[in-house]
């Protein structure tokens, strides 16, 4: 059965506003890429069928940060990295792990079921606490396709600045970031064009 579509911009805006209001405060609330696709639908550039097709083809991503319960030494960080890379390779998960003075920042991306299982395990890991999800949901493609798990040490003030911008979903063009790992992270989760018009409902 064909899903209903709407002809006028006003009808499409009302449909999106209703969907956003209905899911507000739940895990179904549209995130970055979803907001972008809904904005394209509002503008008449995509049909509902095309939005659903693009979401079905998407990759699932999670970005979170946390605090180490005990500061790891270099050998412990290396062991964590090696075991994570083995697991990720076996489950077709790619991503990035950053470490900064007791803080972890990680991106996971892959099939939704595989990423959700891994993230649930990570949230229960006693080696860290205060696990904060910055964003999760579908994206158009892998941002770290060549990395089973990229790794980098980053400075504390710089990572705080990047996380503040990503938490708030603010434009990133005025933020100066020299570290290549943080720049990659910022570029990967840059707010999509037009997304703000959906987020405003």
Instruction: Summarize pLDDT for 85-111 with one digit per residue, the tens.
Output: 999 999 999 999 999 999 999 999 999
Tokens representing 79 are: 């062991």
Select the more confidently predicted residue: 153 or 122.
Answer: 122
Encode pLDDT of 145-178 as tens digits: 888 888 988 888 888 888 888 887 665 556 788 8
User: What's the confidence (pLDDT) of residue 1?
Assistant: 47
Query: Mind listing the domains of the chain with CATH numbers?
Result: 9-57+194-199 (no CATH), 59-188 (3.30.70.100)
Residue 192 has what pLDDT?
66
Exposed e or buried b for every residue in 107-134, given b needs 16+ CB within 10 A?
bbbbeeebbeebbeebeeeeebeebeeb
Asked whether the predicted pLDDT for residue 28 surpasses 80, the reply is no
**Residue (of 34, 106, 117, 55) closest to 77 by Cα position:** 106
CA distance 118 to 103: 19
Each residue of 130-143: pLDDT tens digit?
Answer: 999 998 999 988 98
Rounded to 5°, angle at Cα 96 from 197 and 110: 70
Q: How many CB atoms lie within 10 A of CB 187?
A: 11
The reported pLDDT for the residue numbered 18 is 85
Residues listed for the chain: 201
């Amino acid at each position: 059965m064909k899903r209903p579509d709407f002809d006028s911009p006003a009808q499409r805006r009302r449909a999106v506003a209703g969907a956003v209001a209905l899911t507000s405060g739940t895990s179904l609330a549209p995130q970055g890429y979803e907001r972008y696709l809904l904005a394209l639908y509002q503008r008449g550039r995509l049909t509902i069928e095309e939005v659903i097709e693009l979401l079905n083809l998407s990759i699932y991503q999670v970005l979170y940060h946390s605090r180490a319960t005990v500061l790891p030494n270099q050998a412990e960080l290396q062991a964590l990295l090696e075991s994570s890379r083995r697991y990720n390779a076996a489950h077709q998960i790619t991503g990035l792990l950053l470490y900064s003075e007791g803080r972890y920042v990680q991106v996971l991306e892959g099939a939704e079921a595989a990423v959700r299982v891994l993230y649930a395990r990570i949230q229960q890991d006693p080696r860290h606490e205060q696990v904060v999800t910055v964003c999760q949901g579908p994206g158009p493609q892998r941002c770290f396709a060549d990395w089973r798990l990229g790794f980098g040490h980053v400075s504390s003030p710089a990572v705080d600045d990047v996380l503040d911008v990503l938490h708030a979903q603010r434009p990133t063009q005025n933020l100066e970031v020299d570290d290549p790992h943080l720049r990659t992270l910022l570029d990967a989760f840059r707010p999509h064009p037009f997304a703000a018009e959906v987020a405003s409902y």
